Amino acid sequence: MTQDLHFLTITQASVLIRTGKLSPVELTKAYLDRIHRLDGELHAYILVLGKTAMDEARRAEAEIAGGDWKGPLHGIPIGLKDIYNTAGIATTGHSALFKDHVPNEDAVTVQRLRKAGAVILGKLATHEFATGGPSFDLPWPPARNPWNLDHQPGGSSSGSAAAVAAGLCMAAMGTDTGGSIRSPAAWCGLAGFKPSYGRVSRRGILPLSFTLDHAGPLCWTTEDCALMMQALAGHDALDPGSADKAVPDFASGLRGDVKGLRVGVIRHFFETDLKAEDDVVAGLESALNTLRALGAAVTDVTLSPLSHYNKVTSLISRSEAYAIHERYLTTTPELYGELGRRRLAAGAFVRASDYVNALRHRTRLVAEMTAAMQDHDVLMLPTKHQVAPPFRLEPAVREPSFTQPFNVTGFPALSVCSGFSANGLPLSLQIVGRPFEDAQVLSTGDAFEKATMFRAARPAFAAALASAAQ
């Protein structure tokens, strides 16, 4: 095949692979070549696993040729945020502190992806320990946004988003404690899915906040996220946050239409609580009009002010993160970058009673959001209040966030591309569902993507650098 293999979706590639029209070896080699050519500018990868990836691709090819096709991920090249443990392969957290950390076993999610036949291309850049970034004082540079290299890709799953958007892997795994899958997906123009809390095991992923951490995929399309979810979802008795719930067929749950769907728009979040940029609001209104035209019923919904969600999330996340990092911060603080050190050390100052009362308040927020969803199938709002900003000094204090409310409540949330700003950067739509109605969220995102043309545009960076390199 001579077409741009690196821009195939999983949905497209898996059909070609199954029918013998595309070789996993050829596909993996195309990605490795592209990483070699382009990642010097993008910095999406911390470690490229060229040899093992080719071995895995050859094994997949032999298995498929022998009639043992494992499913849509068989032979599909993916990347892992470098906080996913990989047996015998360094898992650094993008930090000097864990530079030489080599786990003995794969994270449960990695085991499941391997079982599904995925090919692991490498380990991807992240903000330090999924919190401290973007930073220039770490052993590896921060990933850049392929839509404009001077702009941030978002984080903390920065390399995951940059790599998928630039065609340096077909899908990637991220984690999301306060928005770390959805934010980079939004700024890099991808579909990024944070499943319901408990839907995907976190065991073997470097933790940041035990009760807020979620694992999930970043892909070019929502349909691809559904295919990834099929391999990832399922109970893990050894992850205390994992839920013993039946796993639906996510792909067949993509109904392709939203007729009769009841959409609640949390308008006060982005109009008054944290005023979004004009382009962002215009993009959201346009998306809502598309959904109305497809038959959805759109009404506004009111929750507590956004700041309530953000404050409760911050107290919980900083306390839990400090509990994890205290022994390192007090013994080898010099091994952290400045941003990571600051964000993690701050948790030392949260009083125990404040943490416990934040947890108590959390139950109120869950109850409030549950009530709001009685009359709505999904909630919608922008994923980010602004498009990807240039690299700059980070603000000293917390920034309000449209993503945290769905970490603190655990509801499933998806970010999809909803157009482009005047300066050519992706806009985003966030779709939220009821707990364990992940399939409804994915179905809505898929229908929206298929009714719009935003999946046709790829970052110009990739084309420009590719032609320069040829």
CA proximity to 383, closest of 418, 356, 435:
418
Q: Smallest distance from the beta carbon of 326 to other proteins, in angstroms? A: 8
Q: Smallest distance from the beta carbon of 304 to other proteins, in angstroms? A: 11
Q: Is 245 a catalytic residue?
A: no
* Bridge partners (DSSP) listed for residue 78: 120, 171
Q: Which is nearer to other proteins, 262 or 311 (CB)?
A: 311
Q: Which is nearer to other proteins, 346 or 372 (CB)?
A: 346
Active-site option among 156, 196, 201, 401: 156
- Dist CA 10 CA 1 (whole Å): 16
Q: Is 81 a catalytic residue?
A: yes
Active-site option among 95, 135, 160, 180: 180
Q: Smallest distance from the beta carbon of 249 to other proteins, in angstroms? A: 27
- How many Cα atoms occupy the beta-carbon half-sphere of 440 within 13 Å? 21
Compute the radius of gyration of the chain from its Cα atoms. 21
- Dist CA 226 CA 253 (whole Å): 9
Contact 118, 228 (CB under 8 A): no
Please state, in angstroms and as integers, the Cα–Cα distance from residue 442 to each residue in 1, 129, 376, 455, following that order: 31, 28, 16, 16
CA proximity to 159, closest of 50, 44, 62:
44
Q: Which is nearer to other proteins, 50 or 333 (CB)?
A: 333
Angle, helix 338-345 to helix 306-329, in steps of 10 degrees: 110
- Dist CA 111 CA 294 (whole Å): 39
Contact 439, 250 (CB under 8 A): yes
- Dist CA 118 CA 116 (whole Å): 6
* CA of residue 286 relative to chain centroid, distance: 24
Q: Smallest distance from the beta carbon of 348 to other proteins, in angstroms? A: 4
Q: Is 29 a catalytic residue?
A: no
Q: Which is nearer to other proteins, 274 or 329 (CB)?
A: 329
Active-site option among 81, 123, 194, 384: 81
Q: Smallest distance from the beta carbon of 144 to other proteins, in angstroms? A: 24
Q: Smallest distance from the beta carbon of 389 to other proteins, in angstroms? A: 18
Q: Which is nearer to other proteins, 202 or 343 (CB)?
A: 343
- Dist CA 464 CA 444 (whole Å): 33
Element (DSSP H or E) covering residue 216 = strand 214-219
Q: Give the residues lining the site for other proteins (CB under 8 A).
A: 307-308, 310-312, 314-315, 318, 329-330, 333, 338, 341-343, 345-346, 348-351, 354, 357-361, 363, 396-398
Q: Which is nearer to other proteins, 318 or 376 (CB)?
A: 318
Q: Which residues are catalytic?
A: 81, 156, 180
